[in-house]
Structure 1
Amino acid sequence: MYLGDRTWPELGEYFAEESLALVPLGSTEQHGPHLPESTDHRIAEALAREAADRTGYLCTPTINVGVSPHHRQFNGTMWVDAPVFRDYVESLTRNLTYHGIDRVVFVNAHGGNVQHLREVGRRVRDDEVAYAVEWMWDESIPDLVDDLFEYNGPHGGPKETAMMLHIDDQLVREDQFERARDEGIRDVANFEGLRKHGARTFYDAIDNTESGVLGDQTDATREKGEQLFEAASDQLVKLAEWLDDQPFEDLMPRDHV
């Protein structure tokens, strides 16, 4: 069920019976010469909508802009400062609790959001108003991702490229795959520029990659994207169903020993 397509009486019926919501979040940022800047939030929304369709749980509108200052040197990247992002997401989550939601899955597709969503989850849990958990699609299926791609990458790589080929291939510039690979970092695992003597010495994507992306995009296919999407959707459905089954008091902080 997508919140934005329902009337308030219809939503009242949902809130009378259910207390879980899926909140898709991503970013609007550079994803190389081959993928649109909407990549992250399109992936998050597609997965959240799929899980909502399969389970009947509520899916909210998507948060399209996230914490992305590390991509700011590339044209068009949008971001909000981390404290603003945290406060906005917390406010939105508390808005949902006003209507009766007490458990939330942040369906996330942008790595820069992760730590901030965890902080929001801690805030609302400490106040015992809701249990909110961050879910990152590729982290739910790590073995499959590793099996499908020899040279993976955490940003704009073959896994995101394959997902976008499955979700909306008209937005993918397939003639730019080789450029993305050759101007980026193909073999991330063996790239020595990411760390020096145990320290991360870079702050922005452009410090390491001219094309803004990592991995070998030429390894992405529609078929692999479909596999990723179906497997990640399955995991999200299972998470939502598990969370819905938990007694609320068991999700709250435990007492001091």
Structure 2
Amino acid sequence: MTGAPDVDPEPPYRLAEMTWPEVEAAVERSSTMLLPVGSTEQHGHHLPLGVDVYMPEAIAERVAERTGCLLAPPIWFGVSPHHTFKPGTFTVESETFQRYVRDVCVSAGEWGVESVLLLNGHYLAQDPELDIVVRELTTEHDLRAFHVPLVSVFEDAARESRESAVSFHAAEFETACMRSLFPELVRMDRAERVDPPDNALPLTDYDAYGDNRVGWALSADRMDELTPAGHIGDPTVATVETGDRLIEEAVDNVSGLVGALAGSAGE
């Protein structure tokens, strides 16, 4: 049969793999874009440098498969000055990071994207920067923008399934997610428990869901004092089953937001 147009039974969603005519058609189907945002930094002896990108990109891919929204290439470099005490860590200035993420999103708005979800795998550390970016995109560039830290979208599953008292960096939750998503990259034989100091200041806590009631940050020197291994918490209790639950809840929650945006936009 000749002259029949090519029809893709599964419309593409990964922007980096499309041609520009495919992008033009794709934004007619969905004007919502997922942008995985992370960092490349040390994650102890047992996890690779790319954890903070591997996790949000894998979750975003599952959301895009389910909802048909667009998936942008990830941002690999983030605000990580506190991890430069170990080799392999890259970091950029806060202002540089904000401008870069903002400009990426603004450029997408120029060819049809109306809603942007910043899936943040480097949660807690660069939350302030992404909150600012979301405000600028919303108030100055007429985009519907959302900062989506993974620690928030899998919180219920994490609280219900956790085995450790502390999970701060490269500990139970990140290790469990990586065991679920990329088991070949996890060196569980090198994992060890690293407890935070007993003299933590009031209103602060070394836990993703702890008593962090004031803004605070760590320097590279302070991190070096806290953890010779590079992580804080207990990755040894991380299981594939916990990781599966965290990933499933994150995908469900983000998909729900994407679906609501599509409904409000009449897609």
TM-score normalised by structure 1 residue count: 0.87
Deviations along 1:145-164, one digit per CA (max 9) or x if unpaired, are 12222324121011100111
- The AA in structure 1 aligned to 2:81 is P
The reply to whether residue 161 of structure 1 matches residue 175 of structure 2 is yes
Instruction: Within 5 Å, give how 1:183-202 maps onto structure 2.
Output: 184-185=194-195, 188=196, 191-195=197-201, 202=218
Residue 107 of structure 2 aligns to a residue whose secondary structure is: helix
Shift, 1:141, TM fit: 2.5
The residue type equivalent to 1:136 in the other structure is: P
* Candidates 90, 98, 102, aligned match of 1:86: 98
Distance 2:154 2:225 in 1: 29
Asked if 1:175 corresponds to 2:170, the answer is no
Distance between the aligned counterparts of 1:13 and 1:44, measured in 2?
A: 25
For structure 2, the residue ranges without an aligned partner over 5 or more in a row are 1-12, 205-213
Contact 2:78 2:92 in 1 (8 A): yes
Q: Any conservation in 2 of the 1:71–1:77 contact (CA below 8 Å)?
A: yes
Give secondary structure in 1 for the equivalent of 2:126: helix
* Structure 1 unaligned regions, length at least 5: 249-257
SS in 2 for 1:192: coil
**Distance across 1 between alignment mates of 2:156 and 2:218:** 28
Q: Choose which of 227, 245, 250 in structure 2 pairs with 1:209.
A: 227
Deviation at 1:220, TM superposition (A): 0.8
From 9, 16, 23, the equivalent of 1:4 is: 16
Distance in 1 (CA, whole Å) between partners of 2:93 and 2:239 is 35
Which amino acid counterpart does residue 92 of structure 1 have in structure 2? V
Contact 2:32/2:115 (8 A) holds in 1: yes
How many equivalent pairs are there?
Answer: 240
Offset, 1:166 = 1.1
Output aligned runs, 1:1-257, within 5 Å: 1-111=13-123, 112-151=125-164, 152-178=166-192, 181=193, 184-185=194-195, 188=196, 191-195=197-201, 202-204=218-220, 205-246=223-264
The two structures, once aligned, show a CA RMSD in angstroms of 1.9
Contact 1:24 1:44 in 2 (8 A): yes
- Cα distance between partner residues in 2 of 1:35 and 1:67: 19
Identify the range of structure 1 (86-95 vs 169-178) with the bigger mean alpha-carbon deviation. Answer: 169-178
Q: Distance in 1 between matches of 2:100 and 2:175?
A: 29
CA-CA distance at 1:244 after TM superposition: 2.7
Quickly say closer, same or farther: Cα 1:203–1:195, change in 2 above 3 A: farther
Give the drift of 1:212: 1.6
**1:137 corresponds to which letter in structure 2?**
L
Between the aligned partners of 1:201 and 1:174, the Cα distance in structure 2 is 28
User: SS at 2:73's partner residue?
Assistant: coil
- Give the Cα–Cα distance (whole angstroms) in 1 for the partners of residues 203 and 247 of structure 2: 37
TM-score normalised over the length of structure 2? 0.84
Conserved 8 A contact 1:202-1:208: no
User: What's the offset of the Cα at 1:117?
Assistant: 1.0
Q: Which has the higher helix share?
A: 1
Distance in 1 between residues matched to 2:217 and 2:249, nearest whole Å: 35
**Structure 2 residue identity aligned to 1:119:** I
- Give % identity: 32
Does the 8 Å contact 1:194/1:202 carry over to 2?
no
Deviations 1:140-188 (A, max 9, x none): 122221222232412101110011111111111111113xx1xx22xx5
